[in-house]
Amino acid sequence: MSKIKNLNIKHFLSNSDISKNDFLYILDLAKNLKEKKCEFSLSNKVLGLIFTKSSTRTRVSFQVAMSRLGGTTIDLNPSTSQIGRGELIKDTARVMSRYCDAIAIRSYDQNDLIEYSKWSSIPIINALTDLEHPCQALADFLTIKEEFGGFEELVLSFVGDGNNVANSLILCGAILGIEVRIACPKGFKPNKEILNKAFEIDPNNKIVITHDPEEACFNSNILYTDVWSSMGEEDDKDNKDKSFAGYSIDNILLKKAKKDAIVLHCLPAYRGKEITDEVIESKNSRVFEQAENRLHVQQALLATLFSEQLAKE
């Protein structure tokens, strides 16, 4: 059994909850787990999953992560639990704290997660909100580290909507010292508070916001995109399709980047919209490695969240 460092992370609501050193530790632990160089057990541990929105990767990777480590998950789907009926978060959080060992929550409002964390005595993990997608970002940066060996001098260019995925990339860029460039249409800039937080983390951070995808992708190492219409925006899809026309990673844009640039997408993708089929299937694409890494980083995250208890066992 491997010894896991206690990082003193109570909840994981945002990438900004962890320091650069803790971030790097989680990535190294994930890589060691992936290469089967370390092992630990979460037997008898129960992870509750409260998913108010659909999910394939996040839900399944948490379920498989817990199962492989000897623990289990319990599905607290709002439509089949009293959560959907409107039971107060403060009541659900206190009850679940007495049954489960941690809860991963996918919700709309980041404030819901903050409320859960206030009332819960067990770790709360952000499995995506409208504001951030921190578990995704851990997998993204493991994929980048595997490709480039480190983060020095790297430029990551995100083309698309300045919402949850882009916000998390901005925070991680500030933590890890990567230049993050966001190319988005007018009216779809990243959240102001996220930008302020990135400047608090690193006053010299290299964030660029532009409306020009070519400018953003010029000489870049990593091109990244996400859907134009996120979950919850289905009714606005036609308008968003119009606003985002041209904000697509295709072969022309890929040629603006460095020769050995990689292409990332959190998935699910709409081929022919934010990314072409050709690019997602190209030799530059790392989207399936990235998706696989969800599993490894989440195992590492769970290990660090439970490290104090693991040390006592």
Residue 56 contact partner, candidates ligand NVA, ligand CP, none, CB within 5 to 8 A by sort of partner? ligand CP
Q: Are 152 and 285 in contact (CB under 8 A)?
A: no
Does the annotation mark 299 as catalytic?
A: no
67 is a site residue for ligand CP (CB under 6 A): no
The span from the CA of 14 to the CA of 131, in Å, is 9
164 is a site residue for ligand NVA (CB under 6 A): yes
Residues 104-143 within binding reach of ligand NVA (CB under 6 A): 128
* Smallest separation, CB 128 to ligand CP (Å): 6
Catalytic entry in 11, 133, 181, 265: 133
266 is a site residue for ligand NVA (CB under 6 A): yes
297 is a site residue for ligand NVA (CB under 6 A): no
Q: Which of 309, 19, 285 is nearest to 175 (CA)?
A: 19
**Mask of contacts with ligand CP, 161-200, x by CB under 6 A?**
----------------------------------------
- Within the chain, residue ranges assigned H as helices are 20-34, 57-68, 89-99, 110-119, 134-148, 164-176, 192-201, 213-217, 237-243, 251-256, 277-280, 287-305, 307-312
38 is a site residue for ligand CP (CB under 6 A): no
Q: Are 279 and 262 in contact (CB under 8 A)?
A: no
The span from the CA of 50 to the CA of 29, in Å, is 26
Assigned token pair, 301: 């995250």
Catalytic residue ranges = 106, 133, 136, 226, 266, 294
Residues forming the site for ligand NVA (CB under 6 A):
128, 163-165, 226-227, 230-231, 266
